[in-house]
Amino acid sequence: MPTIPTVSLNDGTRFPELGLGTYNLRGDAGIAAIVSAIESGYRLLDSAVNYENESEVGEAVRRSGLRDELIVATKVPGRDHGYDEAIRSAHASLERLGLEKIDLYLIHWPNPSVDRYVDTFRAMISLQADGLVGSVGVSNFTPAMLTRLIDETGVTPSVNQVELHPYFPQAELRAFHAAHGIRTESWSPLARRSELLTEQVVTDTATAHGVTPTQAVLRWHTQLDATPIPKSADAARQIENADVFAFTLTEAEIAAISALERGRLWDGDPDTHEEM
Ligand SMILES: NC(=O)c1ccc[n+]([C@@H]2O[C@H](COP(=O)([O-])OP(=O)(O)OC[C@H]3O[C@@H](n4cnc5c(N)ncnc54)[C@H](OP(=O)(O)O)[C@@H]3O)[C@@H](O)[C@H]2O)c1
């Protein structure tokens, strides 16, 4: 079983360097897939209200018998922005998860035209003080939005989960995170499979290390100090994805993979793209 190392978040929480994405893992098959990931060493599970699978994630956690070792993340959807709304949303998520605590609570999208993410974050800070939430963070936030949150609440989010893969390496945002002690989490770290895994530079790097293209890409993430959350419904691919810590890419290999940069793949610019 691969061992996934951890790093310290800015609130002292030990946080895995790689986790499981759960988008589209639903129903009995979804529960079984999440249980198999936990059995294969995954300790970070990424859910969201909008994935409609919090009950499946909670059930998998109970079946695993490893509740205390796991970091269960879920997210406040756009329609629940606002102080009171976010408190209600958290209680509803806890109910669906069937857990006593949300270990990592994120704002799913900033939705700047609604302009309520600061109040939403204040609610999350109060839930944290009440012990209902472990770490507080955000998703899809820009440096300007992070700066505003920090200035207006005095609290620096522990995590910012953003689109990040070799086609969109986000160097500037990662530098901002590093300067402020915010952990980067990479969503769609495999660019949803796509042609990324057949790029020459990726297959050459994989061959050089005797690993698969997927493993080369996931190691690229972890060496950028980002926590990728690849989603796989398949037990063998879950193990493959987690087993990326026994080899090290060179700086030249990391730079060559980063040179695949071409921008966002799904038009999810947080300044304009909003999700409810
Ligand atoms: N915060 C946000 O706004 C946001 C947005 C998007 C995603 N997310 C989170 O990020 C997670 C990951 O992103 P994602 O699911 O969009 O994409 P992804 O993890 O980049 O790619 C998932 C796809 O890759 C396949 N795959 C996984 N491992 C593989 C392997 N070893 N070899 C070949 N194919 C493999 C999966 O198929 P199989 O399942 O068949 O293996 C699936 O089709 C999501 O599940 C979600 O938790 C967050």
Burial of 175 (0-12, 13-18, 19+ CB in 10 A): exposed
Return the pLDDT at 1.
Answer: 72
- Catalytic positions, written as ranges: 51
Ligand 1 atom at minimal distance to the Cα of residue 139: 1
Query: Separation of 193 CA from ligand 1 center, angstroms?
Result: 7
Task: List pLDDT tens digits, range 18-35.
Answer: 999 999 999 999 999 999
Task: List pLDDT tens digits, range 143-169.
Answer: 999 999 999 999 999 999 999 999 999
Distance CA 266, CA 106 (A): 21
Confidence category of residue 2, pLDDT binned at 50, 70, 90: confident
Confidence category of residue 179, pLDDT binned at 50, 70, 90: very high
State which amino acid sits at residue 270: P
In terms of Cα–Cα distance, which of 257, 270, 272 is closest to 224?
A: 257
Task: List pLDDT tens digits, range 197-255.
Answer: 999 999 999 999 999 999 999 999 999 999 999 999 999 999 999 999 999 999 999 99
The token duo for 2 is: 């691969």
Q: Whose CA is nearest to atom 34 of ligand 1?
A: 193
State which amino acid sits at residue 158: S
Q: Using a 6 Å cutoff on CB, does residue 139 contact ligand 1?
A: yes
Alpha helices in the chain (DSSP H): 27-39, 54-64, 83-97, 117-129, 143-153, 171-180, 200-209, 213-223, 235-242, 251-258
Query: Separation of 31 CA from ligand 1 center, angstroms?
Result: 16
